[in-house]
Amino acid sequence: MDAIYQALAEIEKNNDSAALCTVVKSEGSTPRHVGSKMLVYPDGKFIGTVGGGDLEHRVMDEARTAISEGKPRLLHYNMSDPSRGDPGVCGGQVEVFVEPILPAPSVVVVGAGHVGKAVAHLAKWLGFSVAVSDDRVEFCNPQTVPDADAYYPVAMEELPSQFKVNRRTFFVLTTRGSSVDAVGLGPLLDSPAAYIGVIGSKRRWATTVKELKARGVPEEKIARVHSPMGLELQAETPEEIAVSIMAEILMIRDKGSGKPMKG
């Protein structure tokens, strides 16, 4: 059990993912007692056990799905008759609670101008981990953008090698022009990021798309991009635009509809 707790601490420290599987109910003859735990990683590696055999194999499959979907689940198994699909013949019943352990959601603001600063401020207030990147060092520092947790004064295309991107990463590109986006977007589109948004007009995005295609970026990857990004709020000021952008990110993260609450 100590190994599992140590592994959980490492997962939190490294901002990684896993699923903690715990036997929460055991009736009759079952392979493991209540409180038995197993920690499952996205690649299928695991620590601990909830019973071995087909039962454990099924729980591991459910654990990996829970990591992917980001939702916990309660599993119930009869251990009586394999001919009916039961994962054992012990004769008892067992319930296993599967809890996904996910990295903290992070917003990565690329381009630390007026809108970028406003997005960083709002994202931090909303509880996101915030990173800021700009290839201009004078724009990418705690004095200029005090609300970030980390600063990456590098070109956009270098970000994936500097920052650990995962399915809880939300990229917000508030850059100074289409030329910057066209050069830097390719590596981001190869990442598992949950969201990649690009600021600007439809015309600016059309120019970027043309350049991306010229660089050999496939259409299905380009289709991942949200541009113009944000919800339609008729936003004008940097602060209003930040609200529009973060509203879309919250909607995507929490699978909202974006529709008015009043029916």
pLDDT tens, position by position, 59-106 = 999 999 999 888 999 998 886 655 555 455 566 788 999 999 998 899
Better-scored residue on pLDDT, 30 or 149: 149
DSSP 99: E
DSSP 137: G
- Name residues whose C-beta falls within 8 Å of residue 215's C-beta, 6 or more positions apart in sequence: 182, 186
Helices and strands (H, E) in the chain, number of each type: 8, 11
* Residue 214, SS3 per DSSP: helix
* Residue 35, SS3 per DSSP: coil
Residue 151: its H or E element: strand 150-152
Query: Where in the chain are the domains?
Result: 2-101, 106-253
Tokens read off for 70: 């980001």
**Residue 59 burial by Cβ neighbours in a 10 Å radius (0-12, 13-18, 19+):** buried
The fold of 106-253 is Rossmann fold (3.40.50)
pLDDT digits (tens, 9 = 90+) for 198-253: 999 999 999 999 999 999 999 999 999 999 999 999 999 999 999 999 999 999 99
Tokens read off for 30: 């079952």
